[in-house]
A and B are shown apart, each in its own frame.
Chain A
Amino acid sequence: MARKLPKKDVVIVGFGWTGAIMANELTDEGLDVIAFERGPWRDAPTEFPPGYMQDELRYRVRHELFLRPDQLTFTFRNNMRQTALPIRSWGAFMPPNGVGGGGVHWNGEMWRFLPSDFVLKTHLTERYGAAFLPADMTIQDWGVTYDELEPHYDRFEYLCGTSGTAGNLRGKIQEGGNPFEGPRSRPYPTPAQPQPFSHTLFGKAARELGYKPFPQPSGNLSQAYTNPLGLRLGPCTYCGFCEWFGCSNYSKASPQTTILPYLIRKPNFTLRDKSEVIRINVDRSGQRATGVTYVDSSGEQWEQQADLVILSAYALFNVQLLLHSQIGQPYDPVTNTGVVGRNYTHQTISSVNGFFDSKKFNFNPFIGSGSIGMCVDEFNGDNFDHGPHGFVGGGYVGQVQTGARPIESTLVPPGTPKWGPEWKKAVRDNYLSTVKPGTGVHGSFYSYRDVYLDLDTTYKDRFGRPLMRITMDLKDNEIKQNKFLTDKFAEIIKAMGAEKLAVQYRTAPYDITTYQTTHLNGGAIMGTDPKTSVLNRYLQSWDVPNLFVMGASAFPQNPGYNPTLTVGALAYWSASAIRNQYLRKPGRLVDA
């Protein structure tokens, strides 16, 4: 039996980017806020200091910052005919754990989605006709538009000090920026990061091929910055240990660097780390959340009551907690009913490595920041005519190499033996003259009727609850999209002067053991119809109006960009609705 704690105004579940944003916004409103985080407390100078943070084995290979699967994992299968098995070592994605969440180990890429991404179904249907879309594709409009989100994109960018070159200022296309982006109300807070040699060379090659390359918008800052909360960030040092690692010198935007020092000074904020929320409690009507039950590190159960519950864990955990709390109807792909678990998506990633003449090219590839890069956006979203190609979606492509850490950067040209003196020689000869863009092709992943999340029928967690089951595969549409994008990307790498290319397409079946970004989305999506969405346009639960669910679990499908900026913007958008509408008149913000 859980012991009850004194009631709070707001309980926040999960303390990464969105938890920190909501805590700061709602404490500003004068509310008494408590946040729970499953993992440990983390601060930049103490938890990832420069003295040992650059440890590829510890952080990259052994997943130091991530959840241990022993604590909680998922089962996986490619399709409904298979039996799912538990994931025992993370592969395709890295579930975050600890204060700061994914905001600690992320790269810092800060993309806005295209205006058409938010009205995708309507847009594609109008342009190509409904028959152009695959029959089992379940893409939807978001219920919120780019213009509505713009002020919130702006807020998150200024919180982080984002470095970039504007491509569209209030409708006027700007030289050097992304000409396809939606109009922004003001320039980036700091100028784009200067680009190392290989990135600059990619930009030059792309420009000569007729594209309009631009620097990737970055949460690794080009210069010192003071954010609106008075917090100071320093310039990135291009150490090359960014994604998978925490930043110790205050130059990567994270909850630690942009919110926490300000938030923890507030007397109406409390954070409990090492406290795992296992259930959102609802009253007998099933329409009102009463708070949460959590387990501390001694195994003791506690009940924290609150008037308002903010679910702000990682996308998969949000969905899992809704399923375990029996909030919202679980999705059933057979009958095509229910919503929780529906429209689960990932990112369609591939890359092309380029091997250059080592006598002519020295890229010093170890110089990098987490979101360094020159990109082109000609093939993203619906920036090009899909008619002749027979697929929808797209992505940006770019030389986004973030460093060349020793364990992972032993690239050799195709045809080299896999071991022995020849392999060693090839590693030595190629290290400085290889372009390895990592996730250079960053494609969309649209939603399908039989790609979803539900509760496993066999495997249980340490509390005896069913594990959540992932059913996911790559569909022809995404494979065609990836082939098209990867080939375009390869042309640019070739034009840079590469002698040999190693082209890696993304192919089916979806591989749960190979890293493909941690951009998991959907399962608790936002929308305009409670029959096809878990949340309304303000991220408010249709079923339980005093529950708001943050994060990429709200994405109806995933565009060809990194998700974090949109995740943050949606949190500000939702916070604004809570502050300006919900608190004045608690209840449904949208009539069902």
Chain B
Amino acid sequence: MPSAFTRALGFAALLSCLATCQVDAGASDPQEFTQIERGRYLSVLSDCGGCHTAPGGKPFAGGRAIETPFGNVISPNVTPDLETGIGAWSDKQFDAAVRRGIGRTGAHLYPAMPYNAYTMMSHDDVLAIRAYLNSLEPVRNTRDTNTLPFPFNIRSVMAVWNALYFRAGDYKPNPAKSAEWNRGKFIVDGPAHCGACHTPKTQLGGDRADQYLEGANLQGWSAPDITNARATGLGNWTTDDIASYLKSGHNRFTAATGPMAEAVELSTSQMTDDDRTAIAIYLKSLPGKEHASGLAPIDAKVMTAGGAIYRDQCSACHGIEGKGVPYLFPSLVDSTMVRAKDPTTVIRMVLRGARSVGTRGEPTAPGMPSYGWQLDDRQVADVLSYVRNSGGSPAATVDPSDVARVRSETTARSD
């Protein structure tokens, strides 16, 4: 039994801690359930935990290397630790960081932190996220420095970037559209920052507004077109198909792997059904672009060779006709990823294999084995050219040099 004295001492220490924590942590009140819960959900929509958690590390304690075309940015600790986290930040400083990309010292943040999307959230939204982060256990974790080369290591360069690509301001609902559509657009463009991966970037890493959500290449993956385009996007998916995919990582056509698997696990699977439907309604409203066919005719030899490889290596799971098994093996004839203009992901899947996400709703998490050790660049190109031109709408053939590129780009990456 501890003595009455030590207990009293402990109690006093606890009180003083509570008092200081409260002052330093921007004065949010741990009693404010409503605000904290709203912040927790907004942090799910925003997938804060994805970037601000190192592999195997404590949630929100930072330290994860975020790969950008300009070098790695190391995510900071956003737990309320006074020294290494954001415990000592004022609400105003926090809001400036999240919505305007201005750090505590006034220096610019890199847009690996998607403040250009988070700016659509309201001041109250951001304070709610702050209140939620304040409710976490403070974790002491100093981050490594970023590894950006010159000139990107000079943060003031970002002022130029902001002038080019950043438009501050809360989300303004479109009164001509339904509440659901507006909610969907707010989530997609705001907290969920879908464009970070799905909208192609300029040389400087800004969004190419003319190709909004039409698919992009990053981190050794090609993120697919998520507009309603029929050939390359979600045109054949119903809103339920989209909602199911976001909820469980799986639907009757396909499964989430790679970075999307993580987004499903940490963010979309934890959203409300209403929000997933709102996202689906919004995405289905985006016409995207139907790419003119005009493809060069395919060499019959490629189809023969690719077809033979397909029968040997692929048909056991995906079926002779490429239709797969719903919720288990993706249907290749229905897959727009297979037909994407940029074949990076589908090449990577064949070379490296991939594990789909396991969720509460779909715990199986089936995997695709690696064939990179077994098929050479020409064989991978042939089988993919065959798959891209069997059933569904045709797509450009894959060249062995594409395979060589992906092979070299992914050699040193973890899966």
Q: Give residues in A with beta carbon < 8 Å to B.
A: 43-46, 49-52, 224, 226, 229-235, 237, 239, 248-250, 261-262, 265
Q: Which residue of B lies closest to A50 (CB)?
A: B316
A558 to B360, CA, bound (A): 40
Do the beta carbons of A261 and B367 come within 8 Å of each other? no
Majority DSSP secondary structure for residues of B touching A: loop
Q: Would you give the shortest CB distance from B309 to chain A, in whole angstroms?
A: 11
A265-B363 contact, Cβ under 8 Å, with A45-B369, A224-B326, A234-B328: yes
Bound Cα distance from A44 to B374, whole angstroms: 18
Q: Which residue of B lies closest to A233 (CB)?
A: B328
Asked if B186 lies at the interface with its beta carbon under 8 angstroms from chain A, I say: no
Do the beta carbons of B327 and A232 come within 8 Å of each other? yes
Given contacts A46-B369, A232-B325, contact A51 B313 (CB under 8 A): yes
Bits for B312-331, please: 1 = Cβ < 8 Å to A, else 0.
01011100000001111100
Q: Closest Cβ of chain B: how far from A171's Cβ, in Å?
A: 36
- CA–CA, A229 and B327, complex, Å: 14
Smallest Cβ-Cβ distance to A229: which chain B residue: B363
- In-complex Cβ contact of B368 among A45, A52, A232 (8 A): A45
Residues from chain A with a CB closer than 8 A to the CB of B353 are 45-46, 49
Write out the residue numbers on chain A whose beta carbons fall within 8 Å of the beta carbon of B370. Answer: 49, 51
Q: How far is the CA of A233 from the CA of B355 in the complex (A)?
A: 16
B374 adjacent to A232 (CB under 8 Å): no
Q: How far is the CA of A265 from the CA of B265 in the complex (A)?
A: 12
Given contacts A46-B369, A232-B327, 6 further A-B contacts (CB under 8 A): A45-B368, A49-B353, A230-B363, A232-B328, A234-B317, A250-B366
Contact with A along B164-192 (1 / 0, CB 8 A): 00000000000000000000000000000
Q: How far is the CA of A265 from the CA of B326 in the complex (A)?
A: 22
CB–CB A261/B364 < 8 A: yes
Majority SS at the chain A contact face = loop
- Our pick among A45, A51, A239 for the contact of B367 (Cβ within 8 Å) is A45
Measured in the bound complex, the distance between the Cα atoms of B135 and A142 in whole Å is 58
Q: Is there contact, CB below 8 Å, between A46 and B367? A: yes
Please tell me if the beta carbons of A51 and B329 are within 8 angstroms of each other in the complex. no
User: CB of B358 within 8 A of chain A?
Assistant: yes
The answer to whether B365 has its CB under 8 Å from any CB of chain A is yes
User: Is the CB–CB distance between A45 and B363 below 8 Å?
Assistant: no
> Which chain A residues border B368 with CB–CB below 8 Å?
45
**Does B371 count as interface, using CB distance less than 8 angstroms?**
yes
Complex contact B325–A230 (CB within 8 A):
no
Q: List chain B residues, Cβ under 8 A from A51.
A: 313, 369-371, 373-374
Given A45-B366, A261-B364, answer yes or no on A234-B371 (Cβ-Cβ < 8 Å): no
The answer, yes or no, to whether B57 is at the interface (CB within 8 Å) is no
Given contacts A232-B325, A234-B329, contact A248 B363 (CB under 8 A): no
Closest partner residue, chain A, to B356 (CB atom): A45
Q: B125 near A: Cβ within 8 Å?
A: no
Chain B residue with Cβ nearest A224: B325
- Interface digits, B292-327 against A, CB 8 Å rule (1 contact, 0 not)? 000000000000000000000101110000000111
Give A261 to B369 CA distance when docked, in angstroms.
Answer: 17
Shortest CB-to-CB span from A51 to chain B, Å, is 5
**Is B369's CB under 8 angstroms from A232's CB?**
no
**B contact set with A: CB distance below 8 Å:** 313, 315-317, 325-329, 353, 355, 358, 360-371, 373-374
Q: How far is the CA of A423 from the CA of B369 in the complex (A)?
A: 39
How far is the CB of B363 from the nearest CB of chain A, in Å? 5
B325 touches A262 (CB 8 A): no
> Which residues of chain B have C-beta atoms less than 8 A from A248's C-beta?
316, 369
Residues of A within 8 A of B366 (CB): 45, 232, 250
- Listed by A's residue number, 17 A-B pairs whose Cβ atoms lie within 8 Å are A45-B353, A49-B353, A51-B313, A52-B374, A224-B325, A226-B327, A230-B361, A231-B363, A232-B327, A232-B328, A232-B366, A234-B325, A237-B315, A249-B317, A261-B358, A261-B363, A265-B360
User: In the complex, what distance in Å separates the CA atom of A48 from the CA atom of B361?
Assistant: 26
Query: In whole Å, how far is B371's beta carbon from the nearest beta carbon of chain A?
Result: 6
Could you say which residues of chain A place their CB within 8 Å of the CB of B313?
50-51
Q: Which residue of B lies closest to A234 (CB)?
A: B325
Closest A residue to B324 using CB positions: A234
Q: How far is the CA of A249 from the CA of B365 in the complex (A)?
A: 12
Give the docked Cα–Cα distance between A49 and B368 (Å). 8
> Please, which residues of chain A bring their CB within 8 A of the CB of B326?
224
* Bound-complex Cα distance A50 to B328 (A): 16
Instruction: Give the complex CA separation of A16 and B370 in angstroms.
Output: 26
Specify which chain B residues have a CB less than 8 angstroms from the CB of A231 in the assembled complex: 363-364
Contacts of B325 in A (CB 8 A): 224, 232, 234-235
Residues in A with CB closer than 8 Å to B316 are 50, 237, 239, 248-249
Chain B min CB distance to A60 (Å) = 19
Tell me the nearest residue of chain A to B314, going by C-beta: A50
Most buried by B among A45, A50, A239, A250: A45
Complex Cα–Cα for A240 and B393 (A): 34
CA distance A113 to B369 in the complex (A): 38
| B362, B367, B369 — most chain A CB neighbours (10 Å) | B369
Q: Contacts of A230 on B, CB cut-off 8 Å?
A: 361-364
Q: Chain A's nearest CB lies how many Å from the CB of B312?
A: 9
Shortest Cβ distance from A258 into B: residue:
B364
Nearest CB on B from A489, distance (A): 32
> Which residue of chain B has its CB nearest to the CB of A44?
B367
CB distance from B257 to the nearest CB of A (A): 12
A261 to B327, alpha carbons, bound, how many Å? Answer: 15
Q: Which residues of B contact A229 (CB under 8 A)?
A: 363
Taken together as a complex, chains A and B put the C-alpha atoms of A409 and B362 apart, in Å, by 41
List of B residues within 8 angstroms of A250 by Cβ: 317, 328-329, 364, 366
Taken together as a complex, chains A and B put the C-alpha atoms of A249 and B318 apart, in Å, by: 10
Asked if residues A262 and B317 are in contact (CB atoms below 8 Å), the reply is no
Q: Which of B315, B325, B367, B373 has the most CB of A within 10 A?
A: B325
- B371: chain A residues at CB < 8 Å are 51
Q: Which residues of B contact A49 (CB under 8 A)?
A: 353, 369-370
Closest 10 CB pairs of A and B: A49-B369, A45-B367, A232-B328, A232-B364, A234-B325, A249-B317, A224-B325, A262-B363, A261-B363, A237-B316
In the bound complex, how far is the Cα of B364 from the Cα of A229, in angstroms?
A: 9
Nearest to A231 among chain B residues (CB) is B364
CA distance A229 to B373 in the complex (A): 34
Chain A residues with Cβ below 8 Å from B360 are 265
CB proximity of B337 to chain A, nearest CB, Å: 18
A50:B317 contact, CB within 8 angstroms: yes
Nearest Cβ on chain A to B377's Cβ, whole angstroms: 16
- Given A234-B317, A239-B316: A50 touches B369 (CB 8 Å cut-off): yes
Closest chain B residue, CB of each to CB of A263? B363
Contact partners of A249 in chain B: CB under 8 A: 316-317, 329
Once bound together, how far apart are the Cα atoms of A261 and B325, in whole Å? 18
A234 contacts which chain B residues (CB < 8 A)?
317, 325, 328-329
Once bound together, how far apart are the Cα atoms of A226 and B326, in whole Å?
11
B110–chain A nearest beta-carbon distance, Å: 35
Set of chain A residues within 8 Å of B327, measured between Cβ atoms: 226, 232
Bound-complex Cα distance A233 to B317 (A):
11
Q: Which residues of B contact A233 (CB under 8 A)?
A: 328
Chain A nearest CB: distance from B247 CB in Å? 13
| A43 with B367: CB separation less than 8 A | yes
In the assembled complex, the CB of A255 is this many whole angstroms from the nearest CB of chain B, namely 13
Q: A45-B367, A250-B366 are in contact. Are A224 and B374 (CB under 8 A)?
A: no
